[in-house]
Amino acid sequence: MADSNPTNSHGPLRGIKVLDLSRILAGPWATQLLGDYGADVIKVERPESGDDTRSWGPPWLEPGDPDAGRNAAYFLSANRNKRSMTIDISHPDGIEIVKKLVLDCDVFVENFKVGTLSRYGLDYAGLQALNPQLIYCSISAFGQHGSRADQPGYDAMIQASGGLMSITGASDAEGGSPQKVGVAIADIMAGMYAVTAIQAALIARNENERGQQIDIPLYDSQVAWLANQNMNYLIGHAVPVRQGTGHPNLVPYQTFATADGYLTLAVGNDRQFVDCVRCLDLDGLDVDPRFRTNADRVREREVLVPLLAEKFCERETGDWLEALAKCRVPAGPINTIADVLDNDYSHERELVRTIQHQSAGDIPTVSNPVGFSATAVEYKYAPPILGEHTEEILSKRLGYSDQKIESLRAAGAI
Q: Please state the pTM of the whole predicted model.
A: 0.94
Write down the pLDDT at residue 283: 85
pLDDT per residue as tens digits for the range 321-363: 999 999 999 999 999 999 999 999 999 999 999 999 998 999 9
- The verdict on 269 and 392 lying in the same domain is no
DSSP three-state, residue 170: coil
Residue 198 predicted with pLDDT over 60: yes
7 HSE (CA, 13 A, CB side): 2
286: exposed, middle or buried (Cβ count in 10 Å: 0-12, 13-18, 19+) = middle
Write down the pLDDT at residue 9: 79
The answer as to whether 378 is a domain residue is yes
214, 220, 225, 228 alpha-carbon torsion, rounded to 10°: -140
The answer as to whether 260 is a domain residue is yes
pLDDT per residue as tens digits for the range 30-85: 999 999 999 999 999 999 999 999 999 999 998 766 566 689 999 999 999 999 99
* Cα distances (angstroms) measured from residue 387 to each of 43, 84, 252, 258, 358: 9, 5, 52, 52, 12
- The verdict on 380 and 300 lying in the same domain is no
> Domain ends where: 333, 349, 380?
333
Domain count across the chain: 2
Radius of gyration for the alpha carbons in the chain, expressed in angstroms and rounded: 25
pLDDT per residue as tens digits for the range 208-218: 999 999 999 99
Write down the pLDDT at residue 7: 62
CATH number, domain of 285, equals 3.30.1540.10
- DSSP string computed for 89-134: TTSHHHHHHHHHHHTT-SEEEE-PPTTTGGGGT-SHHHHHHH-TT-
- The verdict on 42 and 80 lying in the same domain is yes
> Domain ends where: 295, 316, 333?
333
pLDDT per residue as tens digits for the range 135-184: 999 999 999 999 999 999 899 999 999 999 999 999 999 999 999 999 99
403 membership: H or E segment, kind and range: helix 402-410
Domain with 315, as residue range(s), is 253-333
Residue 131 predicted with pLDDT over 50: yes
pLDDT per residue as tens digits for the range 242-299: 999 999 999 999 999 999 999 999 999 999 999 999 999 998 999 999 999 999 999 9
Task: Count the Cβ atoms, other than its own, within 10 Å of residue 239.
Answer: 11
**Amino acid at site 56:** W
CATH number, domain of 209, equals 3.40.50.10540
As a whole number, mean pLDDT of residues 197-204 equals 98
Write down the pLDDT at residue 70: 81
CA distance from start to end of the chain: 24
> Angle 409-412-413 (CA atoms, 0-180°, nearest 5)?
80
Asked if residue 60 lies in contact with residue 361, where contact means CB atoms within 8 angstroms, the answer is no
At a CB cut-off of 8 Å and minimum separation 6, what does 237 contact? none
The dihedral of CA 241, 242, 243, 245: what is its sign? positive
- The verdict on 169 and 277 lying in the same domain is no
- The verdict on 371 and 328 lying in the same domain is no
pLDDT per residue as tens digits for the range 369-390: 999 999 999 999 999 999 999 9
Pinpoint the alpha helices (H) of 170-300: 185-208, 218-224, 227-236, 270-279, 294-299
Query: Phi/psi at 242 (nearest 5 deg)?
Result: -70, 135
Task: Count the Cβ atoms, other than its own, within 10 Å of residue 182.
Answer: 7
The answer as to whether 55 is a domain residue is yes
- The verdict on 260 and 193 lying in the same domain is no
- The verdict on 40 and 138 lying in the same domain is yes
Catalytically annotated residues = 187
Cα separation, 188 vs 179, in Å, equals 17
Q: pLDDT category, 317, cuts 50, 70, 90?
A: very high
The answer as to whether 236 is a domain residue is no
- The verdict on 176 and 318 lying in the same domain is no
